[in-house]
Chains A and B, each alone.
Chain A
Amino acid sequence: MTSQTARTLGASLRYEFRMQVRKRSVWIVPALTVVLFLLIGGSLLRDLFDPNERKGQPAEARTAVVGLAVQVHALLSIGFGCLLADRLIRDDRLRVAPILDATPARPGARLVGKYLGAGAATAVPILVVYFGFAAAYAVHTDAPQALGWALATCAVVIVPGLLFVAAFALTLPLVMPAPLFRVIFVGYWLWGNVVVPDMMPTLARTLVHPLGGYPLDALLDFHGIDGDDTWAGPVPGATLNFLRPAPTPTTAWLSIAVLLVVAAAALAGGHAVRARRA
């Protein structure tokens, strides 16, 4: 990377972050989703914070914060994808694109800066919510190691998933209207994460599972709050099992790499679409 490219990336990242983090909807949408989480995730929170709920056997710190991550990630990522859907196309909508494109700054570096900057800004409320709950749990149970597990979970589950989502949220609206993308994205997110593989073909439990089934299973040894669940690997009778190798640390890192490579491919595709329109 040349120094000019690095400077372009840095400038774009900084200003895209600044513009996105000031958007009210970036804070309102996650806030409303947290209300939903408190309603839906109430049983999980009782499991974590109410000592009587689990008959004196509270979930250990790792299980607790990873369980929190799964629910926060599953719910708040929907808003995350929807909020990013206008970021790239808005340069054209606002008619700023011509003056940006007339600068010597490389369009690819601007795209990556926008991706990382707008993505990071949109992720801030998610991380605030997650680390807020994790910190509350650490204080409540006097288990500071929970924060370490929260950081690790964030690194191997939440961040790769959000990078995957952000790449498509930024680039797909170049080839379809943003509202349509949002509808399709919500459908995809539920289908690809919630629908069980023996019900219909789905990306759940595959290497391309943005909720991070493989890292959850093989790197964090998470099997649900009660220890009964599995998150990755083949399902008897399900289609797409070729994408579901047995969960091991290697396949977990492979899964993360696949998500990042697919995200990079989506960005490259978006870059090519914009270049072709010139």
Chain B
Amino acid sequence: MRIEISGLTKTYRGGVAALDGLDLTVPTGMFGLLGANGAGKTTLMRILAGLVRPTSGRVTVGGHDMSTGAGRTAVQRGLGYLPQDLGVYPDLTARQFLDYLALLKGVDDRTTRRRRVGELLEVVALTGDADRRLRGFSGGMRQRVGIAQALLADPQLLIVDEPTAGLDPQERIRFRTLLSQFAGRRTVLLSTHIVDDIAQTCGEVAVLARGRLIFRGTVDELTHRARGRVWSVVTDGPPPAEGMVVSALPHEGGTRYRVVAPAAPDPRARPVEPAIEDGYLALTTR
């Protein structure tokens, strides 16, 4: 499902512009979306999920015009959506919650529905807790239920907003693998603050800032943006005043700082190979 966005603007009441003339094309496959808090990522995902109407602009998903009710419904038939702040009904068990959502997603045949719910509970490692009420689930377990519900109707478009928040490292890796396996000929739009998740799963990525697109390209191209701007410096004094400190590691003789800056932030600084996180920071902290 190809997504085409042109001139997309969303201004909330009070004049807050979440999206400001956004143009973006998202092809089939895994696609990452990066941006600081308030960059407009969640608003964009809510528009693509048919939850929010844009102020202006045009969005088509798989050729369906999202400005029409029929278009939104057509897209939602093939949509899996995991919102950033997922909620569940505490009085239902995981199995019942998934069954209810499967019904709403149009999985009408009882046998098919039961099998699908069972498979997904297995995929997210919740089979043993399937008949416990969600009230007693931890944040990570609820997130796994959220992941399962997003995959229920075998969606052609999967929109996931901060999907690995609350997951432990093993769960994170398992989910990333699951997403990559799932993508295939489908479209998976992954929004996250965890740059490493994008690096490990997405071929292409877009970066938003203040509602606008500031980068679109491959992960390598994003990484390349920081070439010649990433520095390593060891000092026992204060961190370098210039640039953005990416990491600080204790080191013999002081602290080793990794800094993204247009020029060497310290006479002792030496250039190092950039990573995707450096590329992102080089873009957003100019």
* Residues of A that sit less than 8 Å from B by CB: 4, 7-8, 11-12, 15, 18-19, 22-23, 94-105, 110, 278
Contact = CB atoms under 8 A, between A and B. Distances in A.
B199 interface: no
B91 A278 contact: no
Given A7-B108, A103-B105, A110-B104, A96 B89 contact: yes
Contacts of A94: 87-90
Contact of B46 (A12, A15, A18, A98): A98
Which range contains the number of B residues in contact with the other chain?
Answer: 20 to 34
The binding surface of chain A is classed by DSSP as: helix
Contact of A99 (B53, B77, B83, B90): B83
B50 interface: yes
Greatest chain B CB density within 10 A among A95, A96, A104 is at A104
B13 to A, nearest CB: 10
Interface string B154-188: 00000000000000000000000000000000000
30 contacts: A7-B103, A7-B106, A8-B103, A11-B103, A12-B104, A15-B96, A19-B89, A23-B91, A94-B88, A95-B86, A96-B88, A96-B89, A98-B46, A98-B51, A98-B87, A99-B81, A99-B83, A99-B146, A100-B101, A101-B50, A101-B51, A102-B79, A102-B81, A103-B105, A104-B104, A104-B105, A105-B105, A278-B51, A278-B52, A278-B53
Contacts of B90: 94
B60 interface: no
B104 A11 contact: yes
A25 B101 CA distance: 26
Interface of B: 46, 49-53, 73, 76-77, 79, 81-83, 85-92, 96, 100-101, 103-106, 108, 146, 149
Contact of A105 (B51, B82, B88, B104): B104
Given A7-B108, A15-B100, A18-B96, A102 B91 contact: no
A104 B51 contact: no
B53 A100 contact: no
Q: Which of A22, A23, A96, A278 has the most CB of B within 10 A?
A: A96
Contacts of A278: 51-53
Given A18-B96, A102-B50, A8 B91 contact: no
A62 B117 CA distance: 51
A84 to B, nearest CB: 15
Contacts of B81: 98-99, 102
A38 to B, nearest CB: 30
Nearest to B80: A102
B75 to A, nearest CB: 9
Most buried by A among B53, B86, B104, B146: B104
A102 to B, nearest CB: 4
B76 A98 contact: no
Given A98-B83, A104-B106, 18 more contacts: A7-B103, A8-B103, A11-B100, A15-B96, A18-B92, A19-B92, A94-B88, A94-B90, A95-B86, A96-B88, A98-B46, A98-B49, A99-B86, A101-B49, A102-B49, A102-B76, A103-B76, A105-B104
B66 to A, nearest CB: 12
Contacts of B101: 99-100, 103
Which of B85, B90, B100 has the most A CB atoms < 10 Å from its CB? B100
Contacts of A23: 91
Contacts of B49: 98, 101-102
Contacts of B53: 278
Contact of A100 (B77, B104, B108): B104
Contacts of A110: 104
A78 to B, nearest CB: 24
Nearest to B87: A95
B171 to A, nearest CB: 20
Nearest to A93: B87
Nearest to B75: A104
Nearest to A97: B87
A102 B161 CA distance: 14
A17 B88 CA distance: 16
A11 to B, nearest CB: 4
Contacts of B85: 95
Contacts of A104: 73, 76-77, 104-106
Contacts of A18: 92, 96
Nearest to A101: B51
B119 to A, nearest CB: 19
B242 to A, nearest CB: 42
A8 B106 CA distance: 8
A264 B82 CA distance: 33
Contacts of A102: 49-51, 76, 79, 81, 83
Contacts of B108: 7
